Structures are given as C-alpha cells and as structure tokens.
Structure 1
Amino acid sequence: MAALGLLASTMTAVEAARASPGDEHARERDQLVAIERLRQVVDSDPVRFAGLSTNGAGHVTVHVLGAAATARPDLREIRQTAGAAGITLTVVDQRHSLDELTRIQRAVVSDQRLAAVGSARVIGARVDPETNSVVVRVTGKAAALTLKMQQIYGDTVRIQPTPELFETLGRFNDTSPFYGGDRIGNPTKICSYGFSLTNLYGIRYGITAGHCWPEGTPVSVTRADGGTGDRGEGYDVFGTVQFRRNGGGALDNELIGGRDYGGLIWVSDILWSDGNIALPVHEARASCSGCYVYVNGSVSGKRLAKVNGFEDCMTVGGAYSCGLWSATSTDGQPICRHGDSGGPVFAYDGRGGVVAVGILTGGSEDGTFCVYTDMPRILSSWQSTITTG
C-alpha cells in the first residue's frame, strides 16, 4: 500500500477505475427495499400496528398494539419479507397504535391552545415508534408549554427542545451555528469541519483534524473556490483553534471555539448544491468491520465507504496517531482528498438522523483508502458529548 498522507490543503484528484459494489453492499440495498415493503404493510394497518423502527439495514423492530381486546395482525408476510432479505426481526407490544399517535401528531401542531404559551412555540412533531409516543419539537422556554401539553395529551407526548430553525444555503454559504461538512480555512490551507462537541460546562466547539492548524490560529468558513492558492475565500469567521492534539500517539483532533456550532451535518449527494439538506446528529458510536459508512469532506463530498477494521495507531503524514479506523471506497472512486481532513464520517440511524462515527485524518494518494479517528474516543478524551440536533 502506498504511504498515507494527511488530507489538509488541496490535491488534484487521481481518476480510478470504477468497481462493482461488493455483495454486502448489494445485500444492504436489498434490505432497504425490503424495509420499505415492511413499512408499507405496517402503514396499511395503523389500527393494529404501532409503527416500524430500524437499527441499520439488518435489524428491524415491528411495534404492535398489545391491547388484549385487539386482534394481533398477521405477521407472516412481514416475517417472510424480513427473512428473505436476511433481516433480524423483533416484534414489540406497545400501548398506543400508529393510528392514535398519528392523530395526536396532527392535533398537536394545529392545537390553538398551544399557540401562545410564554415564549415557547411548537415547530413540529413526529411519531416515535421506539418510545411509542409523539415527539414534539418546541422552541423557547418550554416549561409552561410542556405542562399544558401533558395536561391535554398525557403520556403520549414527549417534548424535545429545539433551537429556532431557519433556511440555510449549504456548506459553502453557512453561518453560525455551523453544520458539519463546511469547508474551513485560512491563507495557509483548507480543512473540513466534522462535528460539534459539548463539554461539561455546556460550551460547544467545532471539531476538525489536529494536523490542520496550531493553537491560536484564526479560521474562516470559505467559498468553494478562489482566494490564496485557490484554497477558498473566507467570508465568515468560524473561530480560533483553542485546543489541539496531534502526533505522539494522540488522537488527531483539535477544537475550534468562539462561535456557535450546531448539531447537524450536510448530507447532500451533490457537493456544490447542498441547499438546506441537513440532518441532525443523534449520537456518536464506533463502527464495525464490514459495516458501511459515509465520509463527507468538503472536497470529495459524501461518499460511501466500507470499514476495514480498527487500526488503532498508524503513522499518517509523518505523525503517529491513534484511535484510527480504516475504510475503502466501494466503487473505486476517491472518497477522501487533501482538504477533507476533519470532515465527518457518519452512518444513517434509521430514525431521521445520523450517527457520528469519526473525523477524517488521512488517506492514500488516489483517495480510495482512508483512515479516520474514532469519534467516541475523541469525546471521551475531552470528557464531552456529541452535540445533537
């Protein structure tokens, strides 16, 4: 294997021959198709079902109304569909049906009794099969609104405090609170912003690769091109590098502070036209050998990769770094290039959001083999938690 290099700055892409996706990737696509069929069956009988939830493509939980007076649905079609796709199926009894929760979901967002309770405001609601409830997103100080809502709807609702939402313009036109995947830099080099963490004192920082800049370096959000050395032109202050770990067996990461950093990341398939396509980060966890993840640097964009396994410590660009996993392109095309350093590595969680897996550290010159630093280890090292959206 060619020597690994760091991904800071800009590099010319090296074309690689396309390769057919592996059997496991094809199986995952088949499982996603099967899950959609299962969802259609569940949605077609909302009186007896309580919803469907997933944990990756290979694990599905079907939630069924457990009331004794209600006849249980016929699960033969569901079991056959899941079995044919190699999906592990779990059936769980719940108190509230999908029909009941859907009616409450619609009522909550239009209930005039909840329209003006102090500064709080309902901005959305969703059925959550896992908790057998309706999760209501609320902005402002929600204590009074929460009490009133529970008086009306009881234990069928859960409040999820949410910051005020607004339209954004993408990873090259982002403003505070910044989303993961932004291109960040200064006249010396460019890197990518991965995720935000929240420390024990409630302070948020943006995480990127530790080899990007020394402590005290000011960093800006940059445009797609232009500026010194075509490294992007800064148009908004991103912050200043405040804490750094790099080399000597450390985890390759640094924390940038001074602005606000949101709990969402850009997830568009098209790098140059992100629009407002972003998803919330729900949690952080390690991946596994043979699993699929997405690497999402600001140069290469969102690319599918297969995890090879946990590498622990490797020399990357002359620095000895630890906490590393390796991953390989699924189609032979580059998944990480210079400028992608620090970019998010994530997986979809099947519940409308993403799992933070790591941040990009380095890769081979052709960009088809990459290493990334494990996100749970980064968080543990700073005694912090992932910032969620």
Structure 2
Amino acid sequence: MHIRRPALMVFLVIMAMFGLATGASAEPQDKPAVSTSGQALRAAPEIADSLGGASADLGNQLRSSDSSCYGGLEQSGTAELTVHIVDRADCVSVKSRAARPSISAGTVSVKTAPAAYSLVALEAKRDLVTKNIASLQAGGAGLSNWGVDVKTNRLHIGVAELTQAVQQRISSLLGGLADVELTQDAGWTQTADRIVDVAPWYGGDRIVGPVGPCTSGFSVFEPSNGDRTFNTTAAHCGYGTFKQGGNGYGITYVGNYTEGGPTDAQLVTTYPASAAGRVYTTSNGSSPVKGWISSQVGGNKVCSDGSYTGEHCGGTINATDQCLYFMDSRKTICKLIVVYSPGFQPIPGDSGGPVYNHGGTTADTGPNIYARGLITGSYGGNQSLWAYTPVSAWRTLLGVEILGG
C-alpha cells in the first residue's frame, strides 16, 4: 500500500508548543550575524545550464522544431555536447542544423550521433509506464525505476525480478520491447546527520527530524511572504519539528512528497533567526551560493554534500527525468536525476543535503556554489549510483527563491 501525503501541508504552530530552545552550543566557526530588517534579500540567479546556455538553447530548439528527429543530448566533454539525431533520411538536414556553430554558446562544440528513436517517442512510453504503475505493481511487475537513457537511446525499465511474465506484461503495455532496455535491478532506498551550528543557518547542517537524522539543503526565501527565510531538506525526512545540535532549528512549513510526484522536498522554518545563502563544504568551512542551474543533462559534473559523508565531487549525471520506486518508503518519485560517482554513494543521514557545482558551474573546486538540487536516495545494486531532486522541480512549486550569498 502506498503511503500518501497531501501535496501541500502547512503547519501553523506556536514555537513554544514544541519547546524549541533559543540557545545553541559553541559555534563551529566565526559567523557574522545577519539582519534582513529593511533589506531586500538577494536571490541567487538562474543559470540556464553549465555550458553557458548551450544545452538548454539547443535542446529546446530541437524539441520545438524537429521533435521527431531529436533523440536528446548529453555533455560529452568539458566544452562539448553530443546531440543524438534519428538515423532517417528526413532527419539529415536536422543533423546539419544541430552541428551549426551558431547554435553553440561561446567555445562549446557540438557533435552528432545516430539514434534509432526520438526522445519524444521514448518519453511517451515512459509516461505510459508512469500512468499504469499501480496496475503494473499490483500485477507483480515490481518496477524499481524507469526513464529515458539518452546515451543508449532506449527506455530503461528496472524490475525486482525479471521473469517471462513480467516481460510479457510490459511488452503488452508498450507494444513491444524493441526500444526498451528491461533489466533486473536492485531497489532504491532513501538516505534518511557539520554538527553544531547557530543562526544564520547554512546549508549542509546535520538536522534531526521526525524520522531521524537528515541534512539541510539550500537556504531560500518566500517573496510573497515578506521575504521570510526558510531552510530546505528532503520531505521523506518527515514533517514536524527539527533540531540541530540538540537545540531548536525549525518546523515544517510546507512540503511536497506525493506518490508519483515530481519532488521530495520541504521548507523548514528558520527558528530562532534567519538563514544565509551559504553551504558548508567542510566541517567548519563554507562557500556562498551564487546561482542555481535549471537545465541539467547527462555528463554534467556534480558534487554532493551530506552531513555524514561531507562534500564529494567527481560524479557525473547518468540520467535525467527518472521515476524511481523507493522500497523503504514504498513511494515512487519522478523527475529525479541519477548520478554516477565511482565508488561513492550518500548514506543514511545525508538526505536533503545540497547537490551543486563550484566556480564556473562545472568545476569540482572553486570559491562559489551553483545549486543543482537536494539528495534523495541511493541505489541498492551499483554502489556508485544515487539520485537527487533538481531545484527546478521544487523551487516554483514551493514558491521560493534560492537565497544568494
């Protein structure tokens, strides 16, 4: 049975009812007091993508004008995009247009690769699976993940046990398996602890909520509510009271975590004071948030920052817009981004932590932070795969702006 929560849960709670302390233990580093009284908060600007807008512009253009020939794109080098074009006579001109230097941004180069299926056709089959997930699961299909794999040009579907009956059931739904990569996969779990902080709160704090330790994500503010500041974390960390270092931290203000929904995120009040647009990258060192990346494609570099595992860079986006079924919560979340980090995964307690890049939006090192999303969960099979909820999936839905530092 799926556990459902309402899409928007607003908690209007008097702080004293929860006994939230106003004090905190010794400060981990010198932090300036932040006063927002009478001052407009600075929103971290949106950055189209990590290649100066090239992947967003090119992808949107091909989707709009040549959807039947466009198979998707991925970052294949530091300043290189690979566009997959359906290998068909009527798509030859599209291949030429895709590689035109005028479409590239700055020094970004574009090359093409042949594809058998268009991205829109594969996405239609993905959406068909999503629409029928309840009946598939009830019929014993045991799906663990599904989404388009641009690199292989297939709809990847992972199941708990790959039997002939499961193959037939999925084949019947999709009208065959020629464009499907059907595999037996281990399941996904949600990683549901930096240690003592004081306000103004930074992202990357270890916080303890209704279901145990988690990690705070990016600080945000709500323009429609007098620029009130909030912390973020994963919604599967539970709705209710949160503490940091044993002291008062905040309570859930609003969250979005529904079966088949696009997000696993919530806002937590910044009690007793405010939040700041910074993220801990070491136990007591932090970096300012300078922007957030809206368009993310395969091959982009990413860093994760859980309060247990700390900052870990070197991962790359493996797949985007994926639906994953989490065994521990018995819930499917879609629109997730899957990352491949050789030999590394976030662990329990890292959930909700920031996912980002450093200076230059693609770098593993540098003085600044460019937000990508919040840590969601890890794969039980390949110990190098994990997933996050992208900023673009929850920023507008929760009505907030990323707080710049």
If you compute each CA radius of gyration, which structure gives the higher value, 1 or 2? 1
TM-score by length of 2: 0.48
TM-score by length of 1: 0.50
